[in-house]
Structure 1
Amino acid sequence: MTELDDLEDNPGPEGQLTLKLVATPQDTNLHGDISAGWVVSQMELAAELAAARLAHGRTATVATSGMDFLCPVRIGSLVQIHTELLETGNSSMRLNVEVWILPPNEKDPNALYKVTEASFVMVALDEKGRIRTLPGQG
């Protein structure tokens, strides 16, 4: 096996690191697991952060794609959320959002595991909450 084959077998995050946090006991569901809802909430926060930078202001989520969860998030995992702009419209942006974790007992600090990814469609809003044109689009 070549070094290139190894890279293809172990892909890494794509896009820009937008949010980095630790999963804590307060983030669990009633069974003590980190819930999918918490993960999705963090993904939306990362999408909002990235979209607001691109829109130079307020944004809102208008759509997300379906997602599959590939591995669980354990308490103490370092959660890294990456965003990548895929396309823009007149007032909208489509971003890919990926969630990767470094489990709490992982000995290799470079061993990241992909949890999920989704596409988020965000729109730029004005100060009254109405859809507005993105900078440079009008």
Structure 2
Amino acid sequence: MNDQPATSIAPPIAPRLGGDPAGLPTDMNLVLRVMPMPADANPNGDIFGGWIMAQVDLAGAVLPMRLARGRIATVAVNQFIFKQPVSVGDLLSLYARVERIGKTSITVRVEVWAERNLPSPHVVKVTEANLTYVAIDSQGNPRVFPRD
């Protein structure tokens, strides 16, 4: 695969909570914000990991879809780390950055940050992942990423 430097689609946007919270990814694109609801929780009251994984897959696909200008498919979850539990009512911000572009594939890093405890808000990283997507044609066959 031909590697090319990462491509930025839009300027990064970080949530503001009385100034920049330490550690937010200023070199990544905010691609999705979502708040988990009670139906997304397990019997312990934490949000199901599978629900978080689905949100990460959606967020990770945003930049590749723009770059591919067409259909893409998730082909690998290269890494997925749950760092902190997610609770009902946390406001999740999902950031993405293109790590590598090959001939037909693209690897994306996604970080999930939770804004919690609204009376005294603070932000923590709850998940990080690396996923690979492939550009596909209408028959589902791999196709080359546009290069312009």
Which of 107, 116, 132 aligns to 2:127? It is: 116
Is structure 2 residue 40 aligned with structure 1 residue 27?
A: yes
Q: Structure 1 regions of 5+ residues with no counterpart?
A: 1-8
Q: TM-score, with normalisation over the residues of structure 2?
A: 0.79
Q: Which residue of the other structure, out of 66, 79, 82, is the alignment partner of 1:66?
A: 79
1:120 aligned partner, one-letter code: L
Quote the sequence identity (%).
Answer: 35
Deviation, 1:106, is 5.1
Q: CA RMSD in A?
A: 1.8
The whole-number CA distance in structure 1 between the counterparts of 2:51 and 2:117 is: 18
**Alpha-carbon offset, residue 65 of structure 1:** 2.1
CA distance in 2, matches of 1:103, 1:129: 40
Contact 1:72/1:115 (<8 A) preserved: yes
Aligned ranges 1:1-138 → 2 under 5 Å: 10-13=22-25, 14-105=27-118, 107-108=120-121, 111-136=122-147
Quote the offset at 1:29 in angstroms: 2.2
Count of equivalent residues = 127
Map of 2:18 onto structure 1: none
Which amino acid in the other structure matches residue 136 of structure 1?
Answer: R
Q: Deviations over 1:23-49 (max 9, x none)?
A: 111111244320111111100011122
What residue ranges of structure 2 are gaps of 5+ in the alignment?
Answer: 1-20
